[in-house]
Structure formats: C-alpha cells, structure tokens
Structure 1
Amino acid sequence: MYRSLRTLRKARAILPLEQQPASTVLPPTVTVVVPARNEEDVLDNCLRGIREQTYGRERGPDDEEPALRVVVVDDGSTDGTSEIAARHAAEDPRVRVVRSEGPPSGWTGKVHAMHVGVEAAGEPEAGEWLMFVDADTVLAPELLAKLLATAEHADADLVSTPGGPPAEHSASWPILMPAGLQMIGENADPVGKGSKAFAIGHCILLRRSHYEKIGGWAALSGRRNEDIAIATTVRDHGGITRVVEGLSYATTSGMDPFRQGWDSFRKSFVAGTNGSLPLLLGIGLGQISLSLASPAILAAGVRGRKPALIALGSLGWTAQSATHARTARVMHAGPWLAPAAPFTNAVFGCIMLHGALEVARGVTSWKGRAAKF
C-alpha cells in the first residue's frame, strides 16, 4: 500500500502542458537533435513532425537564422535511414544530416550520437535550447511551443515528456506501462527530488547553458539510461528538472509490438542495475511476491473465513488497482486492466527475471531502452 500511495503522489507532481506559447519578442533558437540508426520505418514521420512545428514561424524556414534547426545523426545506418534524412535536408534548409560510424571506446551508442549532433550544431547561442527526440517519436505541431512555455513558466532548465501510444497500439501499453512507470518512479522523481531525477528520453528539452555547464554528453559518455542520467546531473548542478504531461502531443511506436515493449523495459532495467544479476533477481522476485501478496492474503482469508485477512487482502488489491488506473491514465494506456493490477504487476516482475537470465547467459547489450544504438 505504501508503494501505491507513493506512486500516486509522484503522478500528481507531473506538470500539465502549458496551452499558451511563451510571450517572447524574439523566440530563442531551439536545436533539435535526432539520433537515428536503422530507423527507415519511423524516421520520415519523426522528421515531418519536427519540421511542422509552429514554433518560431516569426523567423521562417528560409531565414538565415531560423528559430528551429534540426540535426539528424545517421549513426552508421545500413538501411534507408540515410536517404530519408538526406531527402528532408534537401527539402528544408533547417535540416542538417551528419554521419557517425558508431561510438568510440568508452561511449554508449545513443549518447555518442547525441553528442555528435550537438557538436555539429556549432557554438552555443545566447538563450539557446537543445531538444533531443527519439526517431520513433512523432511530435504534434504545437508541442515545442507549449513545452518551451511550460519550461519557462516553471523556471525549469530541463523538461521532458514521454510519448503516448499510437492509435493502433499493442497490449504492451495497458499491461506493461502502468507497472513500468511505477517502478521507474520509485527510483527517480518527476520534480528532481531524491537520489535521481526523472526524465523520459522520447523528448527532452534542455537549456544549452546547462548542457554546457554539466560538460555535455561527454560527461555521461559511458552512461546507460541516459535520460535519467542527464536529468540527475542537471539537477545536481543546480538546475530544475520537471516531467511534463505532453502525451496528447507526442506519440511513440517504440513500445510496439508487445515483444518490443517487453524487450525495451528489460534492457532499460538491465542498464539501470548495471547488469547486476543479484539486483535483477531480487527486484524481479520481490515485484512478483509483493504483487501477488494481496490476492494470496485475500484467498487465505476467504478459505479460512478470517475477516481480518479478507479486509487486508482487499485493501492491498484495491490500492494496486487504483495505482494502475492512475498510471495508465498518465500514460494514455487505458485503465481497463486496473482490476487485474496484481497480476499485471507480477508479469512485469517476469521482465526483471528475463533480464537476469540474459545477464547470466551473457547475451544482453546493457544499452537500455535505446538498445538499437
């Protein structure tokens, strides 16, 4: 019950997205970096969404200094990613493509690709913001303007929003997402309190001044779960970080189909535990045990006709269901599986055990949610 109450408290701390754009006379430059390795199936939609942003239209796309500029990092792709990126660059002068042949020793792939993108953007500008967008994420035209307004209203130096589910999404959203959000939230805080600050790598907006202050991605070159790492580092250097509820304006296909969503969470938690077999086993078994404790207590109470056990088991089951419903709504996943929360939570524990098995077999890449990099 304590876990459920803490999750509900943290869910309430997620910022709503500001609906009015920031009232600035001259909008600051926003540099969007899109790391892409073998993303031919999703990159076109991602870049179209970025190019269609309403932000900065006061300075049009043909302006010598547009308010929005895009750097696509083709990170050693072997499919049609290069051609798609090149076509967008030919159509829009704000888009630039740079090629990387993969990370050098000591770097993780996605972190290095984002580093390359920022370096290609040139020297920092006064008031500049950096935006990091996953290639499998599609932004609605209004998102950047609203996200920047939210950051300025909250006086935040880093804001991030997860992507919501696409119209046709798999069962990974209602089954895995509520428990996944709860477990991530237990180790990181949406307002930057506690040992780690929470951020979602689908879409991160960061003041470039703070990016430079922390030493950029070079300071996090070997880190996995890079979203939480950069948010925590910004927080530790005096910055303010917030998670924003922008799922109505961003979608991600990175969790579909179900097997991809399962693997995404598995790799994230392997990375988050640094591939620790004891931790993965302990978390997995603990998650399953805690999740199924309420149904087990309730069943024991019914079988033994013990009202106290029936009440305790029912209370625990209800708490899990309420938490599932709230986190599902946050992630636009649909709360209809809330009554089965103890069992979906136990399923998520199996992801940890799968991660432990992969570590034991020595076959995991430890690259977290961005294993494609």
Structure 2
Amino acid sequence: MTGVLLLLAAVAALTAHTWVNATRWLRRPAGGPVEVAEAVAVLLPLRDEADRVTPCLESLLAQRGVPGLRIVVLDDGSTDGTADVVRAVADDDDRVTLLTGVAPPPGWLGKPHACHQLATRADPAATALAFVDADVVLAPYAVAAAVAELRAARVTLLSPYPMIVTRTPTDRLVQPLLQWLWLTFLPLRAMERSPRPSLAAAGGQFLVVDRAGYANAGGHAAVADRVLEDIELARAVKRSGGRIALADGSRLATCRMYDDWPQLRDGYTKSLWASFGHPGAAAAVVAALLLLYTAPPLVALAALVAGAPAVAAVAALAWLLGVAGRAVSARATGGRWWPDALGHPVSVVVLGWLTARSYHLRKRRRLSWRGRPVS
C-alpha cells in the first residue's frame, strides 16, 4: 500500500504542476487585431510540400498588422513541383521571394541549412524573423501577435506552439504528448528566468526571433548538425546571453504534422534519440513514465482481482489524476481532451516503443527523413 500511496503522491504533484503552468505561467498572445511597426521577415523552408503548402502560404499572404511583412520561401531540392505551386499561389505578389536551395554541405542537416539560407537572404530591414513550417496555417494576426509578445516579454526567442490537429486514433494517442510533456515536467517561469541552456524548449513549427539576438547566438549555423534544431537554437540563444519563452499559440496557428501513422512513426523515430541523449537516460525516463502513468490502472485491476479494494481505489485515483493532467494540458493548448485523455497510459506505452525504435534504428544508421540521413 505504501508504494501505491507514493505513486499517487508523485502523480498528484505532477498534475498540480501541469495546472500551475497552464493557468499561471503559460503565455497566451492575443489572437485579435494587433499591429507592430517593425519590419518582419517570414521564412518558409519547403522540401516536397506541394500537397500542403497552399493553405500555409495563403495564410501568410493574408497576414495583417505587419505593414513591413516580407515572405521568403526556400525550395529545398523538391522533386514534386513545390516551387510551381508556390509561384501559382504567390501570383507575382512582390512580398514573396522564392529561392532555390542548395544541398547541405558536410556537417549540416537539411532543416538547419534551409533555415540558414533563408535567414541570410531575408530583407536587411527586418528586425524580427518568423520561421514557419509548411504544415502550419496562421490566423490573420498571428505574426503580428507573436512579434508583439516577443517584444512584450523582452525575450530573444518566442515559441508560440500551434494547436496540433489530430484526426486519427494514432494522432490522438501520440501528438498531445508534445504539449503535455513540457507543461508537466518543465517549470515555465524558471525556464524563462534561468540562463541554463539545459532548461530550454521550443517548437520549430512557428518560431519568432529577434534578428540581432539570433545573429548573436550564431543562428542556425550554431545548430548545423542538430536533429532537434529548434530546441538547440533555444539553447544557443541562452548560451549567448539571450532569453527564451514558450507560449500557447493555439489561437494563432494550427498544425497538421503528419498525414498517417507511417509518417508519424518515422517522424518521431528520427528525433526521439536526440531528445534523451544517452540510452541509459532514455531508459530511465521511459521507465519512470511507465511507472507513473501506465502502472496505476494495471495495479488497480490486479488489486481488484486479488481482493484488495483499498489498494485498487488508490491506484485508480492515481490513474485518474494522470488523466486529469493530460486533460488540463489539452484544454490549455486547444486540444481535444475527451475521451482521449482516458487512454493516456496507452499513449505512454507508444511513446516508449517509439523511443526504443529510435535508438535501435540510429544504432544501425538507418535513420532518415525526406530522403536524407539524420544521424
């Protein structure tokens, strides 16, 4: 019984931390009309995105509140006609510049190199840079609101995390874990105040940076060989003396990251090893997550079968508190919480399997993304 009570206490503390982060410390840029006076460059890297770039680019062209907005698009070796789609959507709009990317040199991964090329070609007058992925669709005032929050928070880098669109059961099992993990385990206020690079998080789908601070941190050249270039860029900003912040961007942007299970599986597999570092650390974290969030319903069931209703009740309460944490996270970031949160124990099991697969394929040098090796 003592072990189950300790488990309950740990889950309760973590759920309380999720609630505090979500209700007190999570920044929420205004989604309504806002205007910024400075020039902003929106940077869009593309590689084989012909099927999804149209809504993204249309939303960029529809941005309001940024009179000095310029859009720079990089076609990074696409073979599916992405550049033709961009030209058709832009329709000679003089705010859009389309670049043809070059292959990454030795020591560079594809995404950091594409972002580096974009940043170096952005309008010199732009004092803020907004990096946007092709699977993101922005609300009309999204860029203005994000830049305004960047300045109001007095930070160098702001990551307004989009609302993740989920349409399949596997989407709903895995994708909400992104927001849940940092709301549950990352002290947001401490992250903003602390200069420690290890205390950092960011999402590259929609990222806004002060241009001078970005250059001072070394830009994407400082993270040339990093799979998680967004998080590593945030760490580089901290190492250079800058500050970072996370925000709920669910009112500013939506993101449909993967179209199906194979894409989702491979997308997580390519990068999870980089999230944890040493395999021993990954094993410890996954074991802790399984103990805290997957074991309680199993213990409750076993206790009922064994005729120990008190133990079963405590274990069931631990499960429900874990579910509550997942629900708080979803409600705070524009996600769907019912009935998805009830399957949280299964979500953690899938995350553990994806992590093991990531290390397994990396050891065999079989990790790749969009036709390029990532390790």
Q: TM-score, normalised by structure 2?
A: 0.85
Question: In structure 2, what is the Cα distance between the partners aligned to 1:302 and 1:187?
Answer: 31
Question: In structure 2, what residue type is equivalent to 1:82?
Answer: A
Contact preservation (8 Å) 1:136, 1:252: yes
3-state DSSP of counterpart to 1:46: helix
Are 1:295 and 2:297 counterparts? yes
User: What per-residue deviation string (whole Å, max 9, x for no partner) do you get for residues 300-355 of structure 1?
Assistant: 33233335422431232122111111122234331112223222222222221222
**Cα pair 2:367 2:374 within 8 Å, conserved:** no
Distance change >3 Å, CA 303–CA 289, structure 1 → 2: same
User: C-alpha deviations, 1:54-103, integer Å up to 9, x for none?
Assistant: 1224xxxxxxxxx0011111111111111122334552111111111221
Matches of 2:16 and 2:258, distance apart in 1:
27
Distance 1:9 1:229, change over 3 A: farther
1:14 aligns with 2:15: no
Counterpart of 1:262 in structure 2 is 265
Instruction: Write the deviation string for residues 129-188 of structure 1: whole angstroms up to 9, x where unpaired.
Output: 00000011111111112212222222222212222244x722344211233333355675
Letter in 2 for 1:154: A
Write the deviation string for residues 270-291 of structure 1: whole angstroms up to 9, x where unpaired: 23245x5544455445433443
Segments of 5+ residues of structure 1 without an aligned counterpart are: 58-66
d(CA) in 2 for partners of 1:255, 1:302: 40
Distance 2:255 2:163 in 1: 6
Instruction: Verify the 8 A CA contact 1:18 1:149 in the aligned structure 2.
Output: no
Contact 2:293 2:348 in 1 (8 A): yes
Counterpart residue identity of residue 183, structure 1:
L
Residue 22 of structure 1 deviates from its aligned partner by 5.4
Q: Where do 1:324-343 residues align within 5 Å?
A: 324-336=326-338, 337-343=340-346
Task: Tell me if the contact between 2:56 and 2:138 (Cα under 8 Å) persists in the aligned partners.
Answer: yes
Name the residue aligned to 1:100. Answer: 101
**Pairing of 1:295-314 with structure 2 (within 5 A):** 295-314=297-316
Where does 1:151-166 land on structure 2 (aligned, <5 Å)? 151-166=150-165
> How many percent identity over aligned positions?
28
Contact in 1 for aligned 2:271/2:358 (Cα 8 Å): no
Unaligned runs of at least 5 residues, structure 2: 1-10
Letter in 2 for 1:179: L
Any runs of at least 4 consecutive aligned residues in structure 1 with deviations exceeding 6 A, and if so which? 370-373
Q: How does 1:106-117 map to 2 (within 5 A)?
A: 106-117=107-118
Instruction: Spell out the pairing of 1:132-281 with structure 2 (5 A cutoff).
Output: 132-166=131-165, 169-184=167-182, 190-191=188-189, 192=191, 193=194, 195-273=198-276, 276-281=278-283
Contact 1:196/1:228, CA 8 A, preserved across alignment: no
Aligned length: 356
CA separation of 1:3 and 1:264: change in aligned 2, threshold 3 A: farther
Distance 1:255-1:184 versus aligned 2 partners, 3 A rule: farther
- Structure 2 SS opposite 1:239: coil
1:131 equivalent to 2:130? Answer: yes
Provide the rounded CA distance (Å) in 2 between the counterparts of 1:349 and 1:4.
20
